[in-house]
Amino acid sequence: MNPPKPESPFALFLDIDGTLIEHQAHPDGIAVDDELRDLLVAAGEAVDGALAFVTGRSVAMVDRIFAPLAIPVAGLYGLEHRLTPGGRIETADEPEDVAAVAEAMQREFAEAPGVYFERKGPVLAIHTRAAPEAFDAVKASAEAALARLPAGYRIVAGNAGLEFLPVGALKSAAIDRFMQIEAFKGRVPVFIGDDVSDESGFAFVNEVGGVSIRVRPRGETEARHTLPDVAAVRKWLAEAILACPVRSRRSGSLPVTDPAG
């Protein structure tokens, strides 16, 4: 079903990879164009600052990608946060057990071209987009390694790889946290994502009467609406901004750029 344009004041929660930007073979390979930066600035103004990224990337990585913007963000599936534009960043370190698993698996797949490891504090991502034939071996090794981690970790397999995640790393919890702060409170949440890790966010948004949108869905999804690709996401956002109700323009809500940038 095509996503509706919200008629009430709404908050925007956006995944990044596969949603705003096309996936790349290597996680560092993405680039942000000026058109997307301008779209995000306009979106932030349209919703009085109630705009946040909800992503598996770290906050530091998001800032490097989107510089000079400093948009509120839940990174590492909510294990890291910056709740206000340019505000204090809550970070998460890499536990020794996760480091040991990462190092062992990196040694195991050192000769496998196209398998990339992304160590993000308590989250370990293994990308196989450039080596789909290696996915089954990576998954089998990861499942064996999971037994070496303390209770409270799980493996989530996505579109092109998998991640070791703490059980508390949920996009639903990240969105809920944002909905408790002033800029977002009382608004209809809109969440757009494209992967398995976004499903908890879709379910939460549905429960509170929001709009859930999955990009390029494969199989069953909790999202009630779909879009076919990144270009369609950007088009929908632009149209939603134009259809946005009269804004209150709360003082201090508009800047989404880092003054230091």
Q: Which residues are part of the catalytic machinery?
A: 15
Closest by Cα among 172, 217, 167 to 191? 172
- The answer to whether the beta carbons of residues 82 and 118 sit under 8 Å apart is no
Strands (E), 33-141: 51-54, 73-75, 80-82, 116-120, 123-127
Q: Which residues of 147-172 are buried (b: 16+ CB within 10 A; e: fewer)?
A: eebeeebebbbbebbbbbbbeebbbb
What whole-number distance in Å separates Cα of residue 248 and Cα of residue 183?
Answer: 11
CA 41 to chain centre: 18
